[in-house]
């Protein structure tokens, strides 16, 4: 249990699983609008993360800058481009 200020400004005891926001060390019970805004932001973040997943996958596959340069020097530009095109096909841009 912890104490929080409810929507009417009263100090109340709330269970640990009750959604609260903390401002300057004071806990406030979340309003329905606060909860809705949090859910909207979470959905937006998830959509953005999913849309850019290909970037993380491509970066992991390509390796570090040093590894890419090593591949380029050892195998030549054409091999480097061919490898990069394969990576792009394997991890296409998100929609």
pTM here is 0.59
Q: Collapsing DSSP states into helix, strand and coil, what is residue 82?
A: helix
**Distances in Å between the alpha carbon of 3 and those of 7, 18, 24, 31, 33?**
13, 11, 14, 16, 21
Task: Please give the residue that has the higher pLDDT: either 9 or 58.
Answer: 58
Output 42 or 69, whichever has higher pLDDT. Answer: 69
Sheet containing 20-23: which strands, arranged edge to edge? 11-14, 2-5, 26-29, 20-23
Q: What is the pLDDT of residues 11-63, one digit of tens each?
A: 777 777 777 777 787 777 777 888 888 889 889 989 888 889 999 999 999 99
Q: How many CB atoms neighbour CB 19 within 10 A?
A: 13
pLDDT number for residue 66: 97
| Closest of 21, 24, 23, 22 to residue 34, by C-alpha | 21
The whole-number pLDDT of residue 64 equals 96
């Amino acid at each position: 249990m912890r104490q929080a200020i409810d929507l009417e400004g009263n100090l109340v005891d709330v269970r640990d699983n009750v959604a609260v926001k903390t401002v300057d060390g004071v806990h406030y019970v979340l309003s329905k609008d606060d909860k809705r805004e949090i859910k909207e932001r979470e959905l937006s973040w998830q959509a953005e993360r999913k849309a850019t997943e290909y970037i993380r996958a491509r970066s992991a596959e390509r390796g570090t800058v040093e590894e890419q340069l090593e591949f380029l020097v050892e195998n030549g530009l054409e091999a480097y481009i061919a490898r990069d095109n394969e990576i792009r096909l394997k991890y296409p841009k998100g929609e």
